[in-house]
C-alpha cells in the first residue's frame, strides 16, 4: 500500500497538445481511471491536478502538492505531440531521473504494460530538464501515453479506452504485469524520421518561432539548450508578434491578454518578474531574462 500522487498535465487555461485528440481531456480521463484503480488496490491517491491557472502555477501546484503530501511516487500523465499530422504509430515514453532505481523499475513496468497493449515502446528518457522530475522529492515517472497526432496511436488509444490505459499504468505502478491482449493496428508505411521528442511544448513553439522569424536556425526538439537561448531576440516595449505572445503565456497572462503586443502591461509584468527573479528589473527581455524564462 502506497501513497501515489497523480496529475493530469496542463489545464484549460494553458492547454497542452491537441491534434486528433486533446491532451488535457485525455490525461484527465487516464488519471481518473488510475485513481479508481489505485484506490481499489488499497493505495492512497493524492490528486495533484490543478484547476485552470497559468503555466508556472500549474507546474508548481503539481509538485508542491506531491511534496507537501509526502507521496511515495509522483505520476504526471501527458500526451505527446511533435508533428502537425502523422500517419502511423509513434508510441509511449517515460521521463525519469535516471539515478532513481525506483523510477527506472516502475517506468520499465509501465512501458512494458503499454507495449503489451500495442503501443510502440520508446523507452525511458532522462527527464532532469523537466520541472516535474526536478522539483519533486520522491521518485517521479512522467508518462507520455502516446502522440495526439499519430493516427495509429490515437486509433489504438480510442479502441482501448482511457480505463484500460489507466489500468495498465496502475498495474505497472503496483508491480504487476498487465494481462490485456494487445490490439494490432494495421500498419501503414511511413518514411518520416522521428526526431528526439520533447515534452515541453512551449520550448518547441519558441524554437520554431525564432527560426521562423530568422533569429535562429536550430533544431526544434523542445530541449532548452545553448542554441535555444542564442536564438531568443532582445524583446522590449513596442514589439509585436508570437515571441511576445510566448512571453505573455510564459508569465501566465490570461488568454485574453496574450495579445502578442509588448505594451505597458507586458513591460510591467516583466519588471515584476525580473525583480522576483533577482534580475535587473528594466522591463527588457535580454539574455538574462530569457535564461530565467526558458527554465
Ligand atoms: Zn504535456
What are the domain boundaries of the chain? Answer: 3-173, 201-294
Ligand 1 centroid – CA 144 distance (Å): 7
Ligand 1 centroid – CA 129 distance (Å): 14
Ligand 1 centroid – CA 199 distance (Å): 6
pLDDT at 196: 47
Task: Classify 201-294 by CATH class.
Answer: mainly alpha
Ligand 1 centroid – CA 155 distance (Å): 19
Ligand 1 centroid – CA 280 distance (Å): 32
Residues 6+ apart with CB under 8 A from 146: 79, 80, 90, 91, 92, 119, 153, 154, 156, 157
Q: Which fold has domain 3-173?
A: Aminopeptidase (3.40.630)
Ligand 1 centroid – CA 18 distance (Å): 10
pLDDT at 216: 93
> Phi, psi (5° rounding) for residue 139?
-55, 135
Residues 6+ apart with CB under 8 A from 50: 11, 57, 58, 61, 62
- Grid-cell match 489545464, residue found: 11
* Set of cell numbers at residue 248: 505573455
Answer whether 104's CB lies under 8 Å from 42's CB. no
Ligand 1 centroid – CA 281 distance (Å): 31
Ligand 1 centroid – CA 152 distance (Å): 19
Ligand 1 centroid – CA 184 distance (Å): 26
Ligand 1 centroid – CA 76 distance (Å): 9
Ligand 1 centroid – CA 147 distance (Å): 10
d(CA 57, CA 49): 11
pLDDT at 179: 58
pLDDT block averages, 10 residues each, the chain of length 295: 93 92 97 97 96 91 96 97 88 90 91 92 85 93 96 96 96 79 52 48 83 88 83 95 92 89 96 92 96 88
* Set of cell numbers at residue 43: 493505495
Ligand 1 centroid – CA 65 distance (Å): 18
d(CA 220, CA 251): 22
Ligand 1 centroid – CA 17 distance (Å): 6
Amino acid at each position: 500500500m502506497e501513497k501515489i500522487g497523480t496529475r493530469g498535465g496542463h489545464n484549460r487555461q494553458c492547454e497542452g497538445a491537441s491534434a486528433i485528440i486533446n491532451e488535457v481531456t485525455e490525461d484527465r480521463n487516464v488519471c481518473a481511471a488510475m485513481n479508481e484503480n489505485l484506490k481499489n488496490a488499497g493505495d492512497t491517491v493524492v490528486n495533484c491536478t490543478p484547476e485552470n491557472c497559468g503555466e508556472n502555477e500549474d507546474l508548481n501546484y503539481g509538485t508542491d502538492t506531491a511534496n507537501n503530501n509526502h507521496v511515495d511516487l509522483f505520476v504526471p500523465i501527458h500526451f505527446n505531440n511533435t508533428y502537425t499530422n502523422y500517419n502511423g504509430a509513434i508510441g509511449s515514453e517515460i521521463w525519469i531521473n535516471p539515478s532513481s532505481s525506483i523510477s527506472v523499475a516502475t517506468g520499465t513496468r509501465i512501458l512494458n504494460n503499454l507495449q503489451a497493449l500495442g503501443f510502440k515502446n520508446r523507452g525511458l528518457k532522462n527527464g532532469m530538464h523537466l520541472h516535474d522530475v526536478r522539483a519533486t522529492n520522491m521518485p517521479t515517472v512522467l508518462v507520455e501515453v502516446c502522440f495526439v497526432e499519430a493516427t495509429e496511436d490515437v486509433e489504438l488509444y480510442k479502441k482501448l479506452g482511457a480505463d484500460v490505459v489507466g489500468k495498465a499504468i496502475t498495474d505497472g505502478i503496483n508491480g504487476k504485469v498487465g494481462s490485456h491482449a494487445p490490439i494490432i493496428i494495421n500498419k501503414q508505411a511511413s518514411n518520416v524520421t522521428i526526431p528526439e521528442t520533447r515534452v515541453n511544448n512551449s520550448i518547441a513553439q519558441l524554437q520554431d518561432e525564432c527560426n521562423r522569424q530568422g533569429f535562429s536556425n536550430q533544431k526544434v526538439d523542445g530541449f532548452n539548450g545553448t542554441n535555444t537561448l542564442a536564438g531568443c531576440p532582445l524583446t522590449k516595449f513596442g514589439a509585436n508578434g508570437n515571441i511576445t505572445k510566448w512571453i505573455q503565456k510564459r508569465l501566465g497572462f490570461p488568454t485574453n491578454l496574450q495579445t502578442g503586443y509588448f505594451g505597458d502591461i507586458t513591460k510591467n509584468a516583466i519588471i515584476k518578474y525580473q525583480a522576483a527573479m533577482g534580475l535587473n528589473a528594466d522591463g527588457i527581455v535580454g539574455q538574462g531574462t530569457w535564461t530565467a524564462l526558458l527554465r
